[in-house]
Structure 1
Amino acid sequence: MPETPRHHIAMWGAPGSGKTTLLAALSVALNRRDDDWKIVGQNPESSAYLTDMTSALTSGKEFPEASTALETYQWALIGPPPTGLFRRQAKRASTMIGLTMVDAPGGHFAPSKRTGRTGGAEERQEELMANLTQSRGIVFLFDPIREFEVGDAYDHLHGPLNRLAEKMLETNQFEGGKLPHHIAVCITKFDDPRVLQTAHKQRLIAPDLDDKHQFPRVGVEDARELFRELSRVSATGSAEMVMNSLDKFFHRDRIRFYVTSSIGFYVDQHSETFDWNDYLNLVPDEADKAALRIRGPVYPINVVEPMLWLGERLARQGRSR
């Protein structure tokens, strides 16, 4: 009987925000690291889905297909034993973090309609909400390009957030008037010039001296400020309420912002370093000018870090009880 993960992380975001691609990139990013962290499916469907997604991103040079039906996938992030309280034990159990994604076609996190809702829609909403309620770690994806073009991040946040608060209140799980979750806010598409240049103009980019590719990065201490800057160009002007809502409902020290990219920047095979004059890894497809293709190898940025931060915080919280 396989071991049950001790902590669970849920994924949340607007349709097209990149939940599926982030998971595919997570597998790639873990395999590029020189440590023991890995992601493993907890059932055959989840294993097959992860394999297909990752192959599409690496070998097929294309993004995984969007979901057409409601599916629930479960994986386990497995890594080295935790340090600290248990480091003197002769046999230390590995660290195991459950990662659950209730993947659905676009719109299930949007505000519900008072009329015309079917029983099936009610059921899907409940399953999505149960995932958030049962988890204590959340990855919330914010797509700044979608926000600039569509501007619906707040629409996909405030409804479920109010429902989540309602359920936590029912079970007396508000802690100091806040939700008990830790939340990693992932600002996606850092490889897009509009996002990268915004970070550059705001002087939020710092070099990573340990990175042989010398990719630009925005540290966690500056990621919140970049989120604020990108929110100002929302198509509807509602993105600024996303940060305010997060601060109102979650403990400030349980929120952390990350600037991420699932495909990363293009790297010349000879220099193997980032070039400000040639960094686009998503370019027009020569066979179909209306489509885009991934140009080179995938080098995910800040995809693993949010997961490990959540896992570490949840493990620490569990030990303190």
Structure 2
Amino acid sequence: MQEPVRNTRYADESTEDVPANPVSAQPRGAIPMPGREPPAGRPGPSRNGIKIALFGPASAGKTTFLQGLLTGQPNRERHGEWTATRVGGDGAGETLDSDLRRHAMRGEFPAASTRRAAETWRIQGRYPQAPPPPRRRLLSGTPLPAPRREESFDLTIVDRPGSHSLRPAEEMLREINDADGLLLMIDPTLMLQPLPVVGDKELDSTMAYLFRMLPDLASHRVNDGGSPRLTQHLAVCVSKFDDPAVYARAKELGVVDREPTGPPFVPSGDGARRFFTDLCDRSAGPGDFQIPNLLTRFDENRVDYHVVSAVGFYIEPGHDFDEGTFLNVIQRNGKPHIKRQMPLNVWEIVIGLYESIMRERRR
């Protein structure tokens, strides 16, 4: 049995939270009028104007999630082919994008950010080729491929740098308010152990972050003449599933599933929600047990739950998943190093949130 190694890979990331990317300050879902140019440094709208914001407390794994998005791929048979391309932004955004790719190629975690980055990624893709209808055939009888529509939407990462969650800035609130969908990253390692100390201060709990963010977001909506009810589609994502302590707790709870040869996973939906609720109830963070109640500010029909790992479990090439050798993070020269980044449920969550928004739009 492989000796457990404490997963301290996020020591750097605890101060990394990559900050806010600009999105249009128009009403949610609005598309700019023809001929109107976006503000300088900001990208124009995606094909359908859909925006998704990625946010969460310090150390939740937002930047590592983004790195997994840039280096991974969804299941092509089910989801097709997708890409993430940086658009707009400034020099800091260019540096972030190149740093993420460079660190990924070296098996390194993202470095801590020191300033807010103006950053947006354009997500584009095509679903798998659909079978042609019976009449759609060439004269030779060969099926004529059905056209595949290109999908497109924007993903922005919203937060300030630093290990402590400062009160949300006006720009951050506007970016979240303007989004159609939200990806909320939850760090389970902050719940399974006493809150770590960064410098001379204790890292903020998940509840402390949300207790500041969500009421301020509701107030921002009211000040804009809207309702305090948060109307975005919300994907609650428990991160760092590959962490030994997190994986062990999920197994104890009985929510882990497996394909015959693939890595273990927690099914999205009821299983992931049960795991999330259990973490909140058991959390060492003061007040974390109230997080589920705080999330009732959102429409429950627009909230879903997921468990994700931007790093993934290590699986020896040519072998199946092995409980004794799944640790994917090792210490090298005193720093955490990724043996082989194999993102789990990263692209699937992003695409699934986009699909939820589109389904509602088509009603």
TM-score normalised to the size of structure 2?
0.73
1:242 to 291, 316, 320: 291
Which residue of structure 1 aligns with residue 175 of structure 2? 131
**Change beyond 3 A, Cα 1:231–1:31:** closer
1:159 Cα shift? Answer: 1.2
Contact 1:20 1:64 (8 Å CA) reproduced: yes
Structure 1 unaligned spans of 5+ = 113-123
1:222 to 249, 262, 271: 271
Structure with the greater alpha carbon radius of gyration: 2
User: How far apart are the structure 1 equivalents of 2:331 and 2:164?
Assistant: 31
User: How far apart are the structure 1 equivalents of 2:154 and 2:103?
Assistant: 24
Specify the SS of the correspondent of 1:71. coil
Which residue of structure 2 aligns with residue 17 of structure 1? 60
Which residue of structure 2 aligns with residue 181 of structure 1? 232
Equivalenced residues, count: 293
CA RMSD across the alignment: 2.8
1:168 Cα shift? Answer: 2.2
2:330 to 283, 286, 306: 283
1:137 Cα shift? Answer: 0.7
1:94 Cα shift? Answer: 1.7
Corresponding letter in the other structure for 1:61: G
1:13 Cα shift? Answer: 0.8
User: How far apart are the structure 2 equivalents of 1:225 and 1:67?
Assistant: 33
1:194 Cα shift? Answer: 0.7
1:49 Cα shift? Answer: 2.6
User: How far apart are the structure 2 equivalents of 1:61 and 1:202?
Assistant: 31
Corresponding letter in the other structure for 2:222: L
Is 1:141 aligned with 2:185? yes
Is 1:102 aligned with 2:158? yes
1:230-278 CA deviation, whole Å, 9 max, x = no partner?
A: 223322332121111112x01112111111111101111242x210111
User: How far apart are the structure 1 equivalents of 2:327 and 2:152?
Assistant: 35
1:144-182 CA deviation, whole Å, 9 max, x = no partner?
A: 1123332610111121101111122334543xx731111
User: How far apart are the structure 1 equivalents of 2:165 and 2:149?
Assistant: 37
Is 1:68 aligned with 2:124? no
User: How far apart are the structure 1 equivalents of 2:243 and 2:214?
Assistant: 29
**Change beyond 3 A, Cα 1:253–1:68:** same
1:21-53 CA deviation, whole Å, 9 max, x = no partner?
A: 110101122277462211111137545532320
Specify the SS of the correspondent of 2:118. strand
**Change beyond 3 A, Cα 1:83–1:125:** farther
Structure 2 unaligned spans of 5+ = 1-36, 38-42, 137-145, 196-203
**Change beyond 3 A, Cα 1:136–1:83:** farther
Which residue of structure 2 aligns with residue 117 of structure 1? none
List aligned pairs for 1:101-120, cutoff 5 A: 101-106=157-162, 109-110=165-166, 112=167
Which residue of structure 2 aligns with residue 254 of structure 1? 302
Contact 2:54 2:182 (8 Å CA) reproduced: yes
Specify the SS of the correspondent of 1:15. coil
Which residue of structure 2 aligns with residue 154 of structure 1? 207
User: How far apart are the structure 2 equivalents of 1:7 and 1:191?
Assistant: 31
Contact 1:72 1:103 (8 Å CA) reproduced: no
